[in-house]
Structure 1
Amino acid sequence: MGVSPTAYNSCTTVQIGSQNACQAAIAAANNILNSSAGYQLADSFAQSFRAGNATSKENILVIKFAPVADIGLNFVMRSLHYNQYTPTPWNGFAILAETYNAFDAADRRRNVILQGPQNNVETGAPAKDRAGNPLVFTINIADETQATEGEGPRLYKWPADAKHVAQNNGNDYAWFRLGEILLIKAEALNELTPGDPTALALVNQLRARPKETVAPALAGPITRDLILQERRFELTGEAKRRQDLIRHGKYTQAWGYKPASAAFRVLLPIPQKQLDANPMLTQNPGY
């Protein structure tokens, strides 16, 4: 069910603010919000990501994982330091400093990003780097081509499963969840009527979860940029940002370590193998 409003709200062939697309997104979102399935926001932000999230009433469409060899979620391996978890993670991925810095310090959703002195996520003991010094994750990376092992904040949104088997954790990955549906409806309402108070109320509903206020309420008025930022805060690491930036005409701008790019980069190239196999295909412009 989450596919419909996302498709309407992400269609690059429809200009942002298009009445028909926005109305369709609102209608599809309402179908989910009023569904007999009884979807509702999880009591806390973390609830939809931790092991055991199969029972989350917020998650609409998930990719199932289990703490079993070859069918578990391995996100902890991608970003944690070698000495924070067993088996040894890859110490590979870091969050951009501008993403971390965009969060208000009072926003509890920022807690899924690890920064500062670190612990072993299984034992709670202070973690050391490979030289035996206290492990500290910095906010900034001085030189992305020569980064040290503690540089860069790390995403820890899907925490380690106590029942994990090697790198296989049982956290399900939610591709669509109710939190995003509220943001889709808010964005569409605001595109139809800039500053729509219902859009502001939807964003603040998301910030005031049933048993956890994750961030202070926004005073308003709501704006397009505020909703885009809210999607960043709520959906960091959930594979939404690229399409959000394309929809808002910001994807080709420079950020972090990415220089400004040509307009054609919003589309990826069609692999040559597929072009060779199907003469009906035409390569995307610019490639």
Structure 2
Amino acid sequence: MKTKHTKLVALATTIILGTTACKKFTDLSPISEATTANAYKTAQDAEAALVGTYETFRSQQYYIWDNTIMSDVVSDNYYAGGDDVNIIAIDKLNFSPTNPRFLTTWSSLYNAILKANLVIEKVALIQDPKLDINNRRNQIIGEALFLRAYHYYQLVTLFGGVPIITAPVTSTQPEATNVPRATEEQTYGQIIKDLEQALPLVPDTYPGDASISKARATKGAVNSLLAKAYAQKPTKDYNKVLQYCNAVITSPAGYVLVPNYDFLFDGAHYNNSESIMEAQFTGTTGGNGNYGPSLLLPPSITIDTWRKFVVPSKDLVAAFDAAGDNVRKNATVKFESAPWVDEYWNNTINSSIPFAWKWRNKSGWDNSTSRQYMFRLADIILLKAEAMNELGQPIADVRTVLQEVRGRVGLGPVAAANQAAMRTAILNERRLELAQEAQRWNDLKRFGVAVQTMNNLNEIDLRTNTKTNYNATTAKLLYPIPQQELDRNKSLTPNPL
């Protein structure tokens, strides 16, 4: 796998911006390895810098597939598969600060944050009057504020409170780069502040076809992240969650559920009416394709015989079966014989095992157009149902909202008769709807059942015929701060292990 062990201090003097599908809305090449002193002079420079800020979603390993590892594989949804000892360790909840996946994630997210910081600061100072046509300057700043908040949201849900950096790093001296951790609450506070500032600056939609509005920060995306932040933060505010969910659901952008659940993932219906934001992999050369599907798909598609990653768990498949949910099961899981031994499904070669199926297009090693949804409407509807339930609204009303999602896949209303039963039903619905979409670990943590869920799993390793013991603890709800960052920044404090 490609890894980028970028240090924060290395970002003080240069910013590397690559091409992105967002180039479609600017028709510009991004600034390449330009120093910050001379890179921000014109409106064209501002647009190019913004393009490079969006590029993170298509270039960084975390957004390509490590977010799935750190939310779905770590949970009860998927096994590691493959042969990467670092991913297997995450699957088994054997966390270590020296696991390189954590450093790669930490570094790439801060790389993205510092790109956004440069745009926010430098674009405000550009003298080019073209930037003030149609209020474009403020719109660019609003987009960058959203992007910074999005990356901080990833960091805080993974690691807890983190160093908050809101300006370009102008010195490599320790006093400038060794920033202590903010608290988790303070980190969410910064996220919400950025989003509240961004909200009036970005539009509901952008001119042009759907791929433009789905690629960029819109009011729908900002409101979606505000809803998630208020739900996930330590001091939850479900009134705010409900407010921002409703803003998405009633948006002038006109988000509606697609009628066929499978359309979301078949590769022919991206940028659909349900999509709020998604990375725009076009499958062309020059970094515009996605290599993630090649790591997950079965041999009949990849045309190779090496063991694949992100294997659906027996517990996940059983959850689909228990719900009678064949529509979402068949869109999420594909069974096929595999020329290797899978220790959980069948301890023999060429037995049938499940493969992760929401990314289906391979088209060469790294030219796939398959993608993740950053936000889609069904997620927000389910979050609305959660907020209503937590606020004690009538169960019948919560059931009606939940049924909007269930009805699409032919399921009837849930029978939950009280708040506790409805809470369990909503969590299960989110699992079935959003598997492989990097939501499960945050859901389990938010509902307060992550430790219990992992320790109650009955996953049998067929090689030894023994139950896998995950030894989940509250300390393991957060990933370790990378050891390399602890060594470099003496102001950091580690997470408990």
Q: Please confirm whether the aligned pair reaches a TM-score higher than 0.5, indicating the same fold.
A: yes
How far apart, CA to CA, are the structure 2 residues paired with 1:191 and 1:80? 38
How many residues in Structure 1 have an aligned counterpart in Structure 2? 256
Q: What is the aligned partner in structure 2 of residue 217 from structure 1?
A: 413
Q: Which has the larger radius of gyration?
A: 2
Which digits, 9 at most, give the CA deviation of each residue in 1:233-273, with x for residues without a partner?
00011111111111122222312345232211111111122
Which deviates further from its counterpart, 94-103 or 106-115? 106-115
Quote the RMSD (CA, aligned, Å). Answer: 2.7
SS in 1 for 2:472: coil
Q: What is the aligned partner in structure 2 of residue 108 from structure 1?
A: 327
Q: Note the residue ranges of structure 1 that are not aligned, 5 or more in a row.
A: 119-127, 132-136
Q: What is the aligned partner in structure 1 of residue 226 from structure 2?
A: 4
The 8 Å contact of residues 81 and 149 in structure 1, kept in 2 or not, is answered as: no
Equivalent runs, 1:105-254 vs 2, <5 Å = 105-114=324-333, 118=336, 130=339, 141-142=345-346, 148=349, 150=351, 152-160=353-361, 164-193=363-392, 196-209=395-408, 213-221=409-417, 223-253=422-452, 254=455
Amino acid at match of 1:203: L
Q: What is the aligned partner in structure 1 of residue 258 from structure 2?
A: 42
The 8 Å contact of residues 263 and 269 in structure 2, kept in 1 or not, is answered as: yes
SS in 1 for 2:414: coil
Q: Note the residue ranges of structure 2 that are not aligned, 5 or more in a row.
A: 1-220, 460-467
How far apart, CA to CA, are the structure 2 residues paired with 1:202 and 1:24? 17
Which digits, 9 at most, give the CA deviation of each residue in 1:173-196, with x for residues without a partner?
211100000000100110111652
How far apart, CA to CA, are the structure 1 residues paired with 2:226 and 2:383? 11
How far apart, CA to CA, are the structure 2 residues paired with 1:52 and 1:232? 24
User: In the superposition, relative to structure 1, how do residues 258 and 197 fare at CA in structure 2: closer, same or farther (>3 Å)?
Assistant: farther
Q: Among 265, 278, 281, which residue is 2:489 paired with?
A: 278
The 8 Å contact of residues 138 and 153 in structure 1, kept in 2 or not, is answered as: no
SS in 1 for 2:312: coil
User: In the superposition, relative to structure 1, how do residues 62 and 89 fare at CA in structure 2: closer, same or farther (>3 Å)?
Assistant: farther
Query: Greater helix share, 1 or 2?
Result: 2
Q: Among 267, 281, 293, which residue is 1:65 paired with?
A: 281
User: In the superposition, relative to structure 1, how do residues 57 and 185 fare at CA in structure 2: closer, same or farther (>3 Å)?
Assistant: same
Which digits, 9 at most, give the CA deviation of each residue in 1:130-169, with x for residues without a partner?
59xxxxx9995256xxx745453222122226xx344522
1:25 Cα shift? 0.4
SS in 2 for 1:53: coil
The 8 Å contact of residues 77 and 88 in structure 1, kept in 2 or not, is answered as: no
Which digits, 9 at most, give the CA deviation of each residue in 1:5-60, with x for residues without a partner?
1111222x12xxx5xx1111001101111111111111211222222333301111
User: In the superposition, relative to structure 1, how do residues 89 and 177 fare at CA in structure 2: closer, same or farther (>3 Å)?
Assistant: farther
Q: What is the aligned partner in structure 1 of residue 82 from structure 2?
A: none
SS in 2 for 1:85: helix
User: In the superposition, relative to structure 1, how do residues 74 and 44 fare at CA in structure 2: closer, same or farther (>3 Å)?
Assistant: farther
User: In the superposition, relative to structure 1, how do residues 232 and 225 fare at CA in structure 2: closer, same or farther (>3 Å)?
Assistant: same
TM-score by length of 1: 0.79
Q: What is the aligned partner in structure 1 of residue 247 from structure 2?
A: 31
Percent identity over the alignment is 26
SS in 2 for 1:152: strand
1:220 Cα shift? 3.9
Which digits, 9 at most, give the CA deviation of each residue in 1:57-78, with x for residues without a partner?
1111212212224432344323
SS in 2 for 1:61: strand
The 8 Å contact of residues 297 and 360 in structure 2, kept in 1 or not, is answered as: no
1:281 Cα shift? 1.7
SS in 2 for 1:208: helix
The 8 Å contact of residues 346 and 353 in structure 2, kept in 1 or not, is answered as: no
